[in-house]
Amino acid sequence: MQYVFGPVPSRRLGRSLGIDTIPLKTCNWNCVYCQLGRSRPMTNQRKDYIPLSEILSDVERALSTIPRKEIDWITFVGSGEPTLHAGIGWLIRQVKRKTEIPVAVITNGSLLFVKSVRKDLLEADAVLPSLDAGTAALYMRINRPHPDIAFDRYVAGLIEFRNEYRGRYWLEVMLVQGLNDSVEALEQIEALVEKINPDQVHINLPTRPPAEKWVQPTDQEGIMRASLILGEVAHVIQPNEGSFVLECGGNYVEALIGIITRHPMSEDQLLHSLELLPEVKRAQIIQSLSSSKKVQIIERYGQSFWCASPAVFPDSRKEDN
């Protein structure tokens, strides 16, 4: 399957079957912490990047082959910003007609100021936008947005969607040490949270390979500070290191590449996903994966992560950071 991957262990959604609506890395932000590397180039154009029929065909195949008990959520997330696909609303409606499994959309929220995008997401059971900064200056430093996505416009979209949406509305704050984990930065975020009025705020840490090597997750004091300032609505999301489900019809290499392209895997996660196979078979799969030219190994946080080979992960801090 080209456009459906997993299920993968999710910090918030249990076992999540991912739907990828766009090519790597189609995004209108260039976040310093992004696990898919830098956005080169950025785009803010909505269009049918992938034929809808092909995506839906993959969804149907996954639902017919993966046991229901293995899937907690079906999640639109993947190689960039999923709402850049102009047909995402149609896809959400089609998926909900085919299964009772709840549907989530993980988005940066940058296009919620557009009425048609808000309408597209109304039938999702949960929408999870980002809110990493409480000021335009910090927004530019962390999220590095496309020039068309001004901070005030982005925040207005988050508020407007809250007024229209009746599903679960969960904001995500990714805490980066030295950027948005100070008292001042967190109080600025909290002021916006009050205006947006989400059901929950999820405090997350960049534990997967960030685009910029200098990015570090906040420390325990930063997490406690965020919890206190953001209040009862805030929940600290602990890293989920569960196993990946490889429904692959025997083609483990392609299944792993499908996951790695959207969801980088640590060396330990990769080995754990193959632990039920004979040792010789595991070695063959890892060798084939290494020589496929579709993956690269990135060193971050003292670990090795398997990532898509086209992803851009500079090894040193550049002037544009």
Mean pLDDT of each 10-residue bin along the chain, 321 residues long: 85 89 94 93 94 96 92 93 97 97 98 98 98 98 97 98 97 97 98 98 93 94 97 86 58 85 85 85 89 87 87 61 43
Q: What is the pLDDT of residue 319?
A: 39
Q: What is the pLDDT of residue 244?
A: 61
| Structural domain boundaries in the chain | 4-308
82, two tokens: 């999923």
Using CA atoms, how far apart are residues 86 and 5, in angstroms rounded to an integer? 21
Q: CB-side exposure of 215: number of CA atoms within 13 Å? A: 30
117, two tokens: 């995008």
Q: What is the pLDDT of residue 321?
A: 43
Q: What is the fold, at CATH topology level, of the domain defined by 4-308?
A: TIM Barrel (3.20.20)
Q: Would you list the DSSP string of 69-100?
A: GG-SEEEE--SS-GGGBTTHHHHHHHHHHH--
Which of helix, strand or coil describes residue 257?
A: helix
- Closest-CA residue to 176 (of 189, 165, 193): 189
